[in-house]
Structure 1
Amino acid sequence: MVATLILPGLNGSAEGHWQRHWARDNASSTIVRQASWSRPALHEWLQSLEGELERVGDAWLVAHSLGCLLAAHIATRPAARHVRGAFLVAPCDLERTERLHPGVIDFGEMPTDRLPFRTFVVGSRGDRYMDFVRLRRYAALWGVKLHDLGHAGHINIESGFGQWRQGYQLFSSLTDAPGRRAPKGTQPQRVSRAITASA
């Protein structure tokens, strides 16, 4: 069975968050622990993720907020060979997140490289951590599909996302898709037609 590594964002995912439910619902899931949830440092978070990928071998990544940027940054590291695919929910914009939480985040720059593994992004039009227009731009840069969840806040406890059943269905669209990884050097996938039409 392929492992699922769950990547929370700033301050971790509190009890009741959909990521916590997923960790309990799926015996093959593990929350990747970080030394500091409240003061994220990219090099430390990468080391933790790389260690888990080396331990479990091939894995799906299920990330939220800053955890999505962690997943995108792993793409340029050797450990990316273990990533079967990534399910990125409500990626945050570093500039905006740093304004909301001044002086606590050391996460470098926004990742902009095309992702070498299958990826499915779920975004919201009402997310204070990422403007939807900017999210579409990053999805295009990453070469990934983008699903518009509408005005759903930051897709967290505050916006009503506890045991998120629809999320399992969206995740299965990633895990059930044919093929394993996007070949390097190919053209980026088109962003979801539904997103373009409703923008």
Structure 2
Amino acid sequence: MPPIYLLPGWLDSGPDHWQSRWERLHGDQRVVQDDWQWPRRGDWMARLDETLIDAPATPVLLAAHSLGCLLVAAWAAHSRHTAQVAGALLVAPPDTGREDMPPQLHGWRPIVRTRLPFPAIAVISRDDPYGDADRMRDIAQGWGAEIVDAGPRGHLNDQSGLGDWPEGRALLARLAPPPDDPPDAGAL
């Protein structure tokens, strides 16, 4: 599996969140933002770009949650480094266009809906309090993502009872590029 970069959403991911568990279990790298309280889209995009430019190995996989999904879409629409990404797992994208969203997230309007230049899988819960499932499926289709219906699982975070979330890990593994074929020993 290529290196995996974790992209948490607003307020970061707590210790029991699947992203934090993956960081501990698998050594995945969290992209740490300067301001988790008042996330600025341009700043978050710049941090992701810097992280991928400095990545010791590419291609990489992105595992995004919530606002991290919108980060992937916005970043991919503007970066010249998208070829460094093999695929992205987009979990519980929020609808920042809703009127009841906190003012800290208004800078993420409008949601970038450009088709992603790499494969993606969007995991959408039927009862996510931060995004209507039908609208988020429509947005994910615009990104060109395969859509996985998670059923009624809330925001797909630590409160959803996912634990280490092996199902999510299996989805991420589907995005990994095939390993290079070993050299033919008879060809030497």
* TM-score under structure 1 length normalisation: 0.82
Counterpart AA for 2:85: V
Judge conservation of contact 1:5–1:60 (CA < 8 Å) in 2: yes
Structure 1 pair 103–66 and aligned structure 2 pair: CA distance change class (3 A): closer
Q: Output one character per residue of 1:26-68: Cα deviation in whole Å (capped at 9) or x when no partner.
A: 23x2100000101100011011100100011421100000000
Where does 1:105-184 land on structure 2 (aligned, <5 Å)?
105-175=106-176
Task: Report the secondary structure of 2:63's partner residue.
Answer: strand
1:90 correspondence with 2:89: no
Instruction: Describe how 1:44-55 pairs up with structure 2 within 5 A.
Output: 44-55=43-54
Distance in 1 (CA, whole Å) between partners of 2:178 and 2:112 is 24
Q: 5 Å matches for 1:43-82?
A: 43-56=42-55, 57-76=58-77, 77-82=79-84
In 2: Cα distance, 1:147 partner to 1:177 partner: 22
Q: Counterpart of 1:188?
A: none
Gaps of 5+ in 1: 179-199
Q: Give secondary structure in 2 for the equivalent of 1:78.
A: coil
Aligned to 2:182: none
Structure 1 residues 134 and 79: alpha-carbon distance in aligned structure 2, compared to 1, 3 A threshold: same
Unmatched 5+ stretches in structure 2: 180-188
Query: What secondary structure is seen at the aligned counterpart in 2 of 1:162?
Result: coil
Is the contact between residue 41 and residue 105 of structure 1 (CA under 8 Å) also seen in structure 2?
no
1:21 aligned partner:
21
Deviation at 1:177, TM superposition (A): 6.8
- 8 Å contact kept, 2:97–2:106: no
The 1:23–1:154 alpha-carbon spacing in structure 2 relative to 1, beyond 3 Å, is: same
Number of equivalenced pairs: 176
Percentage of identical aligned residues:
38
From the superposition, tell whether residues 158 and 82 of structure 1 become closer, same or farther in structure 2 (CA, over 3 Å). Answer: same
Give the structure-2-normalised TM-score: 0.87
